[in-house]
Every structure is written in structure tokens, then in C-alpha cells.
Structure 1
Amino acid sequence: MSFLSEPAPTPRVRALYDADVRDYGYVMNLNRAWAHHPDAHDALFELLGAVARQGGLTMRDRGILVTACAATLGDSYCSLAWGRKLSEEADPELAAAVLAGSDERLSDSERAMARWARQVARDPNGATADDVQALRDAGHDDARIFAITTFVALRMAFSTVNDALGSEPDDELRESAPDAVRDVVTWGR
């Protein structure tokens, strides 16, 4: 499940677990780790939501950003979870392609976002003004570029905590991911 033991069952921990059961039908392994600081979990997701709204990021946009980022980081948990979500917004083959690093089925705008998410995840210090200009050329203004970048960086923080603390993808999560997504996610735990 994770390298940490479960925290004492406080009302905040129970609320986090109850939300998982309500939303997913089970308590996610990663939230057993985040239960050590439920307020940090909630604050992070409030900020992610605010950034996504400010940037006008659709669920499909978020799916592309997270799958491109998670695959680059080698995060199997988020790759499976968001591969499933992107499959619902598009189709399993598109989600599997983005996870595998192929953007052929994406629009120019989406292709630029996926490339940028991989750049930010792989080597943020290697980003150039030309990389940002490619986002502008694909139709993203500076406010949206800031939102995309911040969204990816916050997702990296979430992935880093989960991965470093050994959160393994849940059996239920693996089973719910489409075959095409499950087949391509060969990295991580």
C-alpha cells in the first residue's frame, strides 16, 4: 500500500476515507499516506481546481497534461488513473498513445500541451522561450500557459509524494483501467 503506517482514525482521516468510498467504492492507497495530513491533500486539490478553472482546462486537457506528465515521471498510479479518465473523455487508444509519448491523434493545441507537460516533468530548466512560443503558436495565451505550467507542477508534487512514499496503484484502479492503458503502463510500482 505505502511505506507509511496508517494514521490514527481522527474525524479528518475518516472524512478523507469516506470521500474515497463515496467516490470510488474503496479507500485509495495514496490517501492512506495523505491521511497523515488531510488538510495538505485538500489544499493541494483546491489549488489544482482553481488553476484548472483559471486556465479554462477541460477534463480532456487535464487528462492530456496528467498522462503526459505522469508517464514522463514514471508514475504508474497517476498514469492508470488519468489514463482511464482520458479514455472516458476520448478513447482508450488515444490515452494509451499519449502515455506512450505519441501525440498523433491530438490537435495542434493539445500536442503543444503534451509536449510542454513532458518538458516540465523531464527538465524544467531546459525549457526555452521557443518552447513557450510553441504554446502561443498553438493558441495558448500567457495566462493559460501559466495555468498549464502550474497545473503540471502541482501534479508533479502530488506524484512525487505518492511515489516517494511507496503508494502502489490499487487493484481496483488497475482493473478499471482499459486494457490499452493497462498494457502501456509498464513503469512505476
Structure 2
Amino acid sequence: MSNFLPEPELGDAAQRLYDEDLADHGYVMNLSRLWAYQPEAQGELFGLIGGVAAAGGLTLRQRAVLVTACASTIGDSYCSLAWGTRLAEVAGAEAAGGLLRGDDAGLEEPERAMAAWARKVARDPSATRPEDVEELRAAGFGDGQIFAMTAFVALRLAFSTVNDALGARPDAALHAAAPAPVRRSVTYGRPAETAQEVP
């Protein structure tokens, strides 16, 4: 079973979600089967996430660092595989695998500060200190960027929380497509589907 909820009857918006998956990936993602209950909500959430990232000038690589760091911190295997793979494409598979394990040696210095901040926000946001923000400033980030990356991580955590709580398992194809260092590093969270389980 790919999710705890059965697949809902598809309305027009959910069908568009499925069609986009088929066009982009060649299969319907388990996440989409879950968000088919409220595809408009997913669209609004992604719109907000994208708007925050754009306002903060966050590059794809920076977004991948933030998502990979926060997803691995909370044990979200789905987003870890998806965004670990994206990070591998722009930073190298070994760097991505390291970040998933909490080893940031393969990242550039400003990215290390971003990853550390994402982990703190994900782990215990009430425990952050002014010194943590100063570390981001010292890494070259302005206050607007710091707000943007914080809001970005928080919104990604909301998305992950829904997926994880309702049992979304990483797709077999997603797992198979991830580089070996990424697959080896994701030893937590819900196990990926196997090819035999795919309907």
C-alpha cells in the first residue's frame, strides 16, 4: 500500500495532477495519489513555496540544500530521495549523499550555513539563537534571504508532515533513479516501494 488512504475518485483538478506526473515522470507519484484529495491545496502550497523562494532569490541548488537538510533531519525518505537526487545533479552525488548523512564537507561554505540552519529549524525552531542568525549573515546572507529560507523550510516541513503522517512511500521508480550515494544514505523513514508492488 503506497498510502494509508485509498485513492479518491478523481475530479478534474486531480486528473490534471496525474496527467502532469505522467508527462513529467512517466508514472503517477504516490504523493499525487494522496494529494488528489485536495489538489488545489497542493497547488496553493507549492505556489506559496515557489513565491517565497523567488522573493529570497533562492537558486535550485540552494533550495535542494535546504530541502535535503530538513527532510533528512525529520526522517522523510520521500523528499530525501527526490531532493537528494536533484542536489546530486548540481553538486555531485557524493556531496548529496554526505548532506543526507549530516556531513556537509562537499558543500560550499555558504551552503553549509544554510544546511545547519535548516536542520535547526526542522529539529527545534524554539531553540534557535541570535548567534545562529549571525552565522547566516557571516556567510553572506541578508535578512530578507534569511527570512525567505526560514519560511521555505517551514513550508516544506508542512508538506512533508502531511505525506509522512499519511504513509506516503517513495515510488519504486524514484528510488531506482536516485544515485547510489543518495540511496545508501536514506536509511530512515518509510521504505520505498518495490517494483513488484507497483500496480
TM-score normalized by structure 2? 0.94
Aligned AA (2:173): E
C-alpha contact 2:68 2:80 (8 A) present in aligned 1? yes
Give the match for residue 52 of structure 1: 53
Partner of 2:176: 175
- In structure 2, runs of 5+ residues without a counterpart are 191-199
- Name the counterpart of 2:146: 145
How far apart are residue 105 of structure 1 and its match?
Answer: 1.9
- Unpaired runs of 5+ residues, structure 1, are none
Do 2:64 and 2:86's aligned partners in 1 also have CA atoms closer than 8 Å?
yes
Pairing 1:186–2:187 present: yes
State the Cα distance separating 1:10 from its structure 2 match.
Answer: 1.1
Counterpart residue identity of residue 88, structure 2 = S
**What value does the CA root-mean-square deviation take over the aligned residues?**
0.6
The SS at the match of 1:104 is coil
Q: How does 1:33-72 map to 2 (within 5 A)?
A: 33-72=34-73
Give the secondary-structure state (helix, strand or coil) at the position aligned to 1:168: coil
Q: 2 CA distance for matches of 1:45 and 1:23? A: 16
SS at match of 1:147: helix
Matched with 1:92 is 93
Show the counterpart of 2:156: 155
CA shift, 1:26, in A, is: 0.6
- Correspondence 1:16 to 2:17: yes
Cα deviation code 1:110-146 (max 9, x no counterpart): 1110000000000000001110111011100100000
Paired with 2:107 and 2:87, the residues of 1 have a C-alpha distance of 12
Give the count of matched residue pairs. Answer: 189
Aligned 8 A contact 2:91 2:107 in 1: no
Find the residue that maps to 1:74 and give its secondary structure. Answer: coil
2:98 corresponds to which letter in structure 1? A
CA drift of 1:90 comes to 1.3
Runs of 4+ in 1 over 6 A off after TM superposition: none
Whether the 8 Å CA contact 2:10–2:36 is kept in 1: the answer is no
